[in-house]
Chains A and B, each alone.
Chain A
């Protein structure tokens, strides 16, 4: 997990958008990339006060080892599970063909 760069280029925004499956037009990229750069630079200001002895933090609460016992709990029914699905068939989620980009 490398350090995030303090700024971001238009190409990087386009690349991330593709990874996140967000379809951005050229105009949207022109508009958003500088805005994201400003946001990242603002957040990077934290680095100026965080000294070397401060560990990067992934959790605000210093807890470890929160577990549950290995016990089976009731599940949803297939009808409940599929209730919010855009499409379903044979008790399964129906999704568009998968290898669109590669096939």
Chain B
């Protein structure tokens, strides 16, 4: 990273040039075992403890296809309105790089399982239709640790250490057709597409889609052309853009960088670029001029796949409601405004709220807890909302406590804190922290009497008919009872005494 690239301002860049994008998303499936062998796919195991002769490519071993992985691939294809190939094969992608011990990756080449589809998404109220070129099956690679360089980067490393636990985990690569016409919205469209895919994959239940664990990874292809020109410009491929925010930033950065080169009369170099999350820039990687040559050929150790119409029909019957219809239905059921709904979707809270409502909460209450209290806490901790250690069922339980008058909003927030701190269920937190509101008339009555005694002038106003003045007395009672009094009962008791 010695060269700092010139950048054109974003507004100038999109005023002069029309960006064309292609997004490649790799999704790790959540099967229990690997694509071609029975090794576990569990995340976080000790290095090289989830490997066997097949995924290590030892001589004499033979792969066998995981049926569930193929079903997931077909379901993903169907959910993206793709054609499903009636017959297709795996292929060997040959390359020498130690992340695959076999010296090839088992993938699909010119016969993808799913192809020629589309999906639609909303970006700030505007509908975009994204064409899907293909979705094909392959296997993930091992993880390398580069030792000896200054920052663990590959450049300058003296040697590398490889863990093959991830090698062989089923991957689906989903490739879009060129995305044109987004112009200034291109970064937002890219982000919305990845968010949309994430939601769709979650609804299908085929992947954990945890971007921070690498189970969904994105490569961004981008080129610019002058407005009005049909032919595409030369493109770059930015690898490993692994968060929604980074997808948006990387597209924006490449637009500004390529625009600066073109505006200066230079060519865009067709190359692979690396995204740097920390600095928000891309840097040059391998130049495509030394074109890769993978010498693909049909995998001789695996027989072809020929999904029958019946099988595809059965899998189609298992598809969830498409995301847009799902959102439209929920919005109607919940009575949320467009703006409220956009906030919910933008915060990634849709499924959480849906499950909270299913657990008995009202939609408005569920929205309040997830979008205000929990979103703020997730923000403070820098984690995704769904990564907070609280379940939708527990949020519904907290609201249930409020509805039953056992805690007020202030106490409910303390209950949430307790659950998030790992102190147990909401009920357990209430008991352990002694958070329940007091609605027992004897206890409240004593506090009410003291409040009236201490504020004779206020009491006189209430007696005189100014019931709004009772608020000051309620406040005094709440203060004495450390916020744990049942406010509506306190009000009733005050008015009874002063009528």
Contacts and interface: CB of A to CB of B under 8 A. Distances in A.
A92 B163 contact: yes
Given A67-B70, A95-B160, A72 B38 contact: yes
A66 B89 CA distance: 12
B222 interface: no
Nearest to B68: A70
A47 interface: no
A67 B302 CA distance: 10
A63 interface: yes
Contact of A70 (B66, B146, B161, B300): B66
A59 B33 contact: no
A45 to B, nearest CB: 21
Given A58-B300, A72-B39, A90 B47 contact: yes
Contact of A93 (B37, B98, B148, B295): B98
Interface residues of A, number: 39
Centre residue among A70, A76, A102 by max chain B CB count within 10 A: A70
A76 B55 CA distance: 11
Interface stretch (B15-23, B151-159, B434-442): B151-159
A60 to B, nearest CB: 9
B87 A64 contact: yes
Contacts of B157: 97-99
Nearest to B67: A67
A1 B92 CA distance: 11
Given A75-B52, A97-B159, A1 B298 contact: yes
A81 B51 CA distance: 7
B159 A78 contact: no
A76 B51 contact: yes
A84 B58 CA distance: 10
Contacts, number: 142
Contacts of A68: 38, 64-67
B164 A63 contact: no
B372 to A, nearest CB: 41
A67 B154 CA distance: 38
A1 B161 contact: no
Nearest to A101: B290
Nearest to A16: B295
Given A68-B67, A70-B67, A19 B39 contact: no
Interface of B: 31-33, 37-40, 46-53, 56, 58, 64-70, 87, 89, 91, 94, 96-98, 101, 109-110, 144-146, 148, 154-164, 286, 293, 295-300, 302-307
18 contacts: A19-B293, A58-B89, A59-B298, A65-B306, A66-B64, A68-B64, A70-B32, A71-B33, A73-B52, A74-B38, A94-B159, A94-B162, A95-B159, A97-B157, A97-B158, A97-B159, A98-B98, A102-B286
Interface of A: 1, 19-21, 58-59, 61, 63-78, 81-82, 84, 89-99, 102-103
Can you list the 6 inter-chain pairs with the closest CB atoms, starting with the nearest? Answer: A73-B38, A58-B298, A92-B161, A70-B68, A67-B67, A64-B306
